[in-house]
Amino acid sequence: MGRKKGKMTKGRVSRIGSYAIASSVTDPTSISCTTFNILAPIYKRLDEKDQSCRESNYRENWVNRNKKILDGLLYERSSIICLQEFWVGNEELINMYEKRLSDAGYIYFKLARTNNRGDGLLTAVHKDNFRVINHRELLLNGFGDRVAQLLHVELVAPFSQCRSNNVQKGILIVNTHLLFPHDSSLCLIRLRQVYKILQYVESYQKEHMLSPLPIMLCGDWNGSKRGHVYKFLRSQGFVSSYDTAHQYTDADAHKWVSHRNHRGNVCGVDFIWLLNPNRYRKLLKTSWSEAVFGMFKYLLRRASLTENDAFAFLKADSHGDYITYTGFCEALRQLNLIGHHHGLSVKEINDLWVQADIDGNGVLDYIEFQKIWNPTWSEQRDEISNEVWENVGNGTEQTVGFSVKNAVLFPTEVEKGMWPEDYSLSDHARLTVVFSPVRMPCSRLIS
């Protein structure tokens, strides 16, 4: 399209919508996906000093704001729209979205959070791009009344990659909104939310005997690139589409933001994660254990313990130079990972212990502890497995995957790590990613 690389400046804001339209609708080689937490009126405060003064009490305010939100969404006309904090408790707002989305050619699904929280999710896909095969709802009742939507869709646009009958055209789309980390004790709950979602996606694929398909995880993850959820998803092979488009690394957490939270802090929490079907994936259970061990290490380091100090702390109850199961559990208790309603279960603790006790002799020596503290062996295994797959991938079953073509955040100031004071549509930025379908081989799940 002759578009120059680099970030959009404020003077080019109006071109965001036209670019997405040109790429996803008039250009038959691309689709687009938008995720946006639209800030439910029941949560939007009109007076910071009076927390009871919410936008939901002022119809004209929330109607006008949501009309502007819809104007922006329909101007971009993304192939996929994933909204969070959709006000499911108000019929007028629901009807407003349903009518305008339907008139614009979208098929939509909404899902309320459990226990009558008042807000929920809305996911819409455009008829010109997709045929909906299935829609599933995941209720995470015990995890902050959070929910997730799973859409199994098939590309119907005339992509050249899809013309062969031997190429799979399915995509799995997930929309969710994770719990906010009000304190460190909720980190484990947030990890478990993601684990449950990925378990559900995996179960769905097995239930329907599906070969690996591209998976897009969209939503408000309420955690940045520095967090445990981010690292967990990366360990499963997912990539952040926005960071991929801008060639940012995992360490570039400060280069963009997408949310100003109720504490006034700005951070990047809105993601469209992509897992292509040719990516190596380790066992989900292995990634979960490594994520919990990562949290374990983080909490020990926060207590100013070095590797040697941590080992000494863990083996304090033993009579030798090793860690016992009892000492391991006591450390988990002191780190607040067990001993409360949302803590690790007995089975989860046993699974962690079995993975850590490599030789199975019932204790952890220093070498085994080092593999928890510095799990470079797992990263090396990932690299080896990816190389093996790249070498054997040719000639196997073909499917459609995606390359990231472009990604933009609106308002554009957030792409430079700044939050504009005159932005009032939401306390989140809108993220849109443009993808190009590409033919690729399916991967295998490595045990």
Going from N- to C-terminal start, the domains of the chain cover 10-278+398-446, 288-380
pLDDT value of position 12: 41
pLDDT value of position 389: 35
Q: Is 362 left (phi over 0), alpha (psi -120 to 50) or beta?
A: left
Q: Are 187 and 335 in contact (CB under 8 A)?
A: no
pLDDT value of position 163: 59
pLDDT value of position 302: 85
Q: Does 10-278+398-446 match 288-380 in CATH topology?
A: no
Phi, psi of 333 (to 5 degrees): -65, -45
pLDDT value of position 177: 96
Query: Tens digit of pLDDT per residue, the chain (447 long)?
Result: 333 334 433 334 334 444 444 444 446 679 999 999 999 999 998 877 766 788 999 999 999 999 999 999 999 999 999 999 999 999 999 999 999 999 999 999 999 999 889 999 999 999 999 999 999 999 987 777 899 999 999 998 666 555 566 677 899 999 999 988 756 667 888 888 999 999 999 999 999 999 889 999 999 998 888 888 999 999 899 999 999 999 999 888 889 999 998 777 899 999 999 999 987 777 888 888 888 888 888 888 888 888 888 888 888 888 889 999 999 999 899 888 887 777 888 998 998 999 888 889 999 999 989 888 887 544 433 433 333 333 334 445 778 899 999 999 999 999 999 999 999 999 999 999 999 998 887 765 443
**E-state strands within 24-145:** 31-37, 80-86, 106-112, 120-126, 130-140
For helices 325-334 and 346-356, what crossing angle results, to 10°? 120
Query: Homologous superfamily of 10-278+398-446 in CATH?
Result: Endonuclease/exonuclease/phosphatase (3.60.10.10)
pLDDT value of position 335: 87
Rg (CA), the chain: 23
CATH class of 288-380: mainly alpha
